[in-house]
Structure 1
Amino acid sequence: MPKGENTRKRIIAKSAELFNQKGYAGSSLSDITELTGIKKGGIYRHFASKDEIALEAYSYAGGVVGRAIQEALEREATAMGKLLVFLKVYENVVEAPPFVGGCPLLNLATESDDGHPILRERARKGLTGTLDQMKSIILEGVQSGEFKSDLDIDALATLTLSIMEGGIMISKLDGDNRHMQMNMESLIAYFKAVCLR
């Protein structure tokens, strides 16, 4: 891989960690230069603006989390198990999240809400992609007979994602993974009471 491409990837990876921990607004170009050891001129050789770095950084962070989810999905045979994967990858979110700083989607959505349209649109794409993945799993469960045929697929996907993101937020804020654990247990109980055939 050419040196320039390695430098670009390093800037993206380090900036992704920075933005996911300190936020876009809380991170300066000076923070990026300090973290990467690359001077501003070197940064601008690869990126036109902080916005461009942020978009690439959030894509990178989402990709890391997406790969962790995909690897866990491949180990599950049931639709219920696959939906629970989204929470399980964050069950130790306080000490060992799948990406440093917690959930990139949650962090980006919270920070960009109404304040930064470009980043908000990136967060919306992440939201749509995650919900679509969950809906596909639920539909698979309906078609296989695991889930009830009259299940509201959209509603279950939204509920699952809300429980996941809420658990992440509360666990991180309180510094205690028990909230994520309780949410997983509650979701399992809901699946058994309402969704399974």
Structure 2
Amino acid sequence: MPSKADNTKQMIVEKAAPLFNTKGYAGTSMRDILAATGLTKGGVYGNFPGKDEIAAAAFAHSYGKLRAALLRAVASQATAQGRLVAVLKFYRNYTVQPVVAGGCPVMNAAVETDDAYPVLHRQVRAALAELLAGLSRLFAQGITEEALRPDLNPDQEAEYFYAQIQGGILLSQTSGDPRVLNRLLDRLRDYLERQLVR
């Protein structure tokens, strides 16, 4: 059973995660975290040494929610092609109905992290690698199932799909128009069904 300290730490992470995902690392202050959690400085610093550690835990929490939701979305599909379509459906209207408030935690953190935030940067790179590897496996499975063309490069197709999805999210968020993302998702599905199938 989790201790009171564990519960407090988890509460801090859950309250801080949407702040970092919405306002960014630089835009989220300790004052924001204190206001969101209702804790004193001592209550927060008694659980985390500083903002960097809270940001790292918050990103892990947000990415975990995204990962779990994606896995649920594809779990009901029996074929790799069906799972790829499920991924596209998962991201439909994502800018207005995100899993975590503020949008995609991987893209949001990727935009802001660099050498100045090495721990968070490593987490983002690991998350991106995992997402791309998952997509690549789906393309490879589609080839094995003889549903997709045998000459496809799974890694390159995964990169193309993910870049189109994240580009669509960026364009939709910037323009305030979720239809931009949805149009790109429709084109990806058309690309999958017209050019990648055997």
Q: How does the TM-score come out when normalised to structure 1?
A: 0.95
Indicate conservation of the 8 Å contact 1:83/1:160, yes or no.
Answer: no
Q: Quote how far apart the aligned CAs of 1:90 are.
A: 2.5
Q: For residue 132 of structure 1, what is the aligned residue in structure 2?
A: 133
CA RMSD of aligned residues (A): 1.3
* 1:47-62 mapped onto 2 (5 Å cutoff): 47-62=48-63
For residues 72-111 of structure 1, the C-alpha deviation after alignment (integer angstroms, 9 at most, x for no partner) is: 1012233233223333223122321111100000000001
Indicate conservation of the 8 Å contact 1:89/1:97, yes or no.
Answer: no
Q: For residue 70 of structure 1, what is the aligned residue in structure 2?
A: 71
The share of aligned pairs that are identical, in percent, is: 37
* 1:166-185 mapped onto 2 (5 Å cutoff): 166-185=167-186
Amino acid at match of 1:41: G
Tell me, in whole angstroms, the C-alpha distance in 2 between the residues paired with 1:95 and 1:67.
19
Q: For residue 150 of structure 1, what is the aligned residue in structure 2?
A: 151
Indicate conservation of the 8 Å contact 2:88/2:189, yes or no.
Answer: no
Tell me, in whole angstroms, the C-alpha distance in 2 between the residues paired with 1:87 and 1:105.
17
Q: Which secondary structure does the structure 2 equivalent of 1:42 belong to?
A: helix
Tell me, in whole angstroms, the C-alpha distance in 2 between the residues paired with 1:2 and 1:116.
30
Tell me, in whole angstroms, the C-alpha distance in 2 between the residues paired with 1:102 and 1:10.
20
Q: Which secondary structure does the structure 2 equivalent of 1:46 belong to?
A: coil
Report which stretch shifted further, 76-85 or 153-162.
76-85
Q: Quote how far apart the aligned CAs of 1:37 are.
A: 0.4
Count of residue correspondences: 197
Q: Quote how far apart the aligned CAs of 1:47 are.
A: 0.7
Report which stretch shifted further, 110-119 or 186-195.
110-119
Q: Quote how far apart the aligned CAs of 1:66 are.
A: 0.9
Amino acid at match of 2:177: D
2:11 is equivalent to residue 4 of structure 1? no
Tell me, in whole angstroms, the C-alpha distance in 2 between the residues paired with 1:166 and 1:84.
18
Q: Quote how far apart the aligned CAs of 1:26 are.
A: 0.4
Q: Quote how far apart the aligned CAs of 1:115 are.
A: 4.0
Q: For residue 25 of structure 1, what is the aligned residue in structure 2?
A: 26
Structure 1, unmatched stretches of 5+, are: none
Q: Quote how far apart the aligned CAs of 1:117 are.
A: 2.4
Amino acid at match of 1:137: L
Q: Quote how far apart the aligned CAs of 1:51 are.
A: 0.8
Tell me, in whole angstroms, the C-alpha distance in 1 between the residues paired with 2:17 and 2:145.
39
Q: Quote how far apart the aligned CAs of 1:147 are.
A: 0.7
Indicate conservation of the 8 Å contact 2:59/2:105, yes or no.
Answer: yes
* 1:83-162 mapped onto 2 (5 Å cutoff): 83-162=84-163
Amino acid at match of 1:171: S
